[in-house]
């Protein structure tokens, strides 16, 4: 990485702050307007000559009057630019003249000690802030006409605002680090757009953003809430290996894709949602939307600190809806194992909602069979249902036995197991065939025990069938 230089050594920065830098606690909008008019007049001075003026004014919010004001402001801008460049640097500085708007706008490797305000600044060619270091807030409602904007490797020590920015040819935001709020509200992005490896350490606001084509968030990290509500993704969208921590101040705030529209295949493969399931209510997911159905990529309830019962229910209801949405999206792709992964979580959250009586069936379903996924649990339950009461039946058989020898003891044990098996699987008819006389003489409590075994046998056998069906994809 190149050594960082003061911003005032850069001719483009001095041109962008021709009438003065933002030095107060708030933004001096009158000063900003003067700087913007001078910048846009200079940036647009060659558009008419290259035949791009009409195209530029049709794709952005900058007025044609500002882009064609160079004749009026030329002398003043040229004079002030040289004056400010000399004034802001030491005696060894050599002025090289006003840069050309036809060349790349290079703000790379600069230290910006004061707020940078570029709202409605026009860029007729590519602009780069690569590896720049912003010590204070930055506002970049940039208007990029014909080339990509690059902030690759830039570091923002405060807030970064790109509200309603127009990146007609996309943005390169790879490896950017933002310490506080990132605001791309209603920003428009052409293609391609790269956010890979970016670190959003504060709230990331992409509400109503429009990604017209490809966008990559691969390996990005959202430390607090990422809000993409009402955003539209017009091209391939990649959130592979992206991490969503949701560690903001509010315990129930979470990453939101609410009412988003995904027009093309979208990948959340190996994306990690550490604290919350994303809000997908009202989202239109593409049929080829992928999620990773594995442990470790989704929140663990045990790690969730609830303030009270109401908060737990709010979180559970929201998470249940998200799991249902993801499950429906995966079902369209014919991935039963992945679908059942989110079904199980949907049922888990259903077991946290409502009164204890409403929660009981879901929790019992999960305990007995892991929501129809486990073979082991119902099989163990069946074995337990057979084995545990068998001692009671063996003891009863022993009292009516014909001897007290060791061989008789083992016979009674096996007879007790056989009787218990016959009770559990009564549909085989073994109970009536081999133990009819025993039940004629048995008391009501033994009949009750046998009946309980029969009921539990049907229940556990049903859940065992569910597990086998799920495991072997039986229809």
**Mean pLDDT along residues 146-163:** 87
User: What is the full DSSP assignment across 364-418?
Assistant: HHHHHHTTTT-SHHHHHHHHHHHHTTHHHHHHHHHHT-S--SHHHHHHHHHHHHH
pLDDT at res. 251: 53
pLDDT tens by residue, 36-50: 999 989 988 887 666
- Specify the long-range contacts of residues 30-33, CB closer than 8 Å, at least 24 apart: 32/117, 32/119
pLDDT at res. 412: 75
pLDDT at res. 67: 84
Q: Is the pLDDT of residue 234 over 60?
A: yes
pLDDT tens by residue, 369-380: 999 999 999 999
Q: Is the pLDDT of residue 202 over 90?
A: yes
pLDDT at res. 29: 92
Q: Is the pLDDT of residue 425 over 80?
A: yes
pLDDT at res. 1: 57
pLDDT at res. 231: 97
**Mean pLDDT along residues 165-181:** 90
pLDDT band with cut points at 50, 70 and 90 for residue 300: confident
Residue 167, H or E segment: strand 166-167
Residue 464, H or E segment: helix 444-471
pLDDT tens by residue, 48-59: 666 666 566 655
The order of strands in the sheet holding 5-6 is 5-6, 110-112, 133-134, 155-156, 177-178, 199-200, 221-222, 243-244, 272-273
pLDDT tens by residue, 112-143: 999 998 888 888 888 889 999 999 888 887 66
pLDDT band with cut points at 50, 70 and 90 for residue 153: very high
Q: Which residue has the higher pLDDT, 147 or 149?
A: 149
Q: Which residues pair with 262 in a beta bridge?
A: 233
């Amino acid at each position: 990485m190149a050594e960082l230089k003061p911003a005032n050594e850069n001719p483009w920065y001095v041109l962008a702050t021709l009438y003065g830098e933002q030095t107060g606690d708030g933004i001096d909008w009158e000063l900003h307007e003067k700087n913007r008019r001078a910048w846009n007049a200079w940036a647009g001075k060659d558009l008419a000559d290259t035949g791009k003026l009409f195209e530029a004014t049709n794709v952005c919010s900058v007025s044609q009057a500002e882009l064609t004001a160079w004749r009026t402001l030329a002398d003043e801008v040229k004079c002030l630019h040289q004056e400010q460049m000399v004034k802001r640097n030491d005696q060894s500085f050599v002025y090289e003249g006003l840069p050309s708007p036809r060349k790349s706008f290079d703000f790379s490797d600069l230290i910006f000690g004061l707020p940078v305000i570029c709202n409605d600044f026009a860029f007729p060619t590519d602009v780069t802030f690569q590896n720049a270091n912003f010590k204070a807030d930055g506002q970049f409602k940039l208007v990029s006409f014909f080339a990509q904007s690059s902030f690759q490797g830039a570091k923002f020590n405060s807030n970064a605002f790109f509200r309603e920015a127009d990146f007609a040819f996309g943005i390169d935001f790879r490896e950017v680090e933002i310490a506080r709020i990132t605001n791309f509200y209603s920003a428009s992005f052409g293609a391609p757009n790269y956010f890979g490896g970016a670190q959003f350490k504060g709230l990331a606001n992409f509400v109503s953003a429009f990604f017209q084509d490809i966008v990559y968030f691969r390996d990005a990290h959202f430390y607090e809430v990422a809000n993409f509500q009402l955003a539209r993704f017009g091209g391939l969208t990649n959130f592979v290996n992206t991490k969503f921590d949701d560690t903001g101040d509010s315990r129930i705030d979470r990453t939101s894709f609410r009412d988003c529209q995904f027009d093309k295949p979208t990948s959340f493969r190996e994306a990690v949602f550490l604290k919350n399931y994303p809000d997908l209510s009202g989202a239109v997911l593409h049929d080829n939307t992928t999620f990773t159905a594995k442990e470790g990529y989704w929140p663990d309830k045990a790690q969730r600190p609830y303030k009270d019962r109401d908060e737990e229910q709010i979180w559970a209801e929201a998470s249940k809806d998200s799991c249902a949405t993801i499950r429906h999206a995966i079902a369209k792709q014919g991935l039963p194992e992945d679908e059942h992964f989110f079904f199980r979580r949907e049922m888990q959250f259903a077991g946290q909602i409502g009164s204890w009586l409403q929660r009981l069936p879901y929790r019992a379903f999960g305990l007995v069979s892991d929501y129809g996924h486990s073979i082991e649990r119902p099989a163990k339950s069946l074995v337990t249902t057979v084995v545990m009461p068998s001692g009671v039946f063996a003891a009863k058989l022993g009292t009516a036995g014909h001897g007290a020898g060791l061989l008789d003891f083992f016979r009674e044990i096996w007879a007790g197991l056989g009787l218990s098996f016959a009770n559990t699987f009564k549909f085989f008819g073994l109970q009536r065939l081999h133990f009819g006389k025993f039940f004629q003489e048995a008391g009501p409590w033994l009949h009750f025990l046998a009946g309980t075994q029969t009921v539990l046998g049907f229940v556990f056998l049903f859940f065992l069938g569910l597990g086998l069906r799920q495991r072997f994809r039986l229809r």
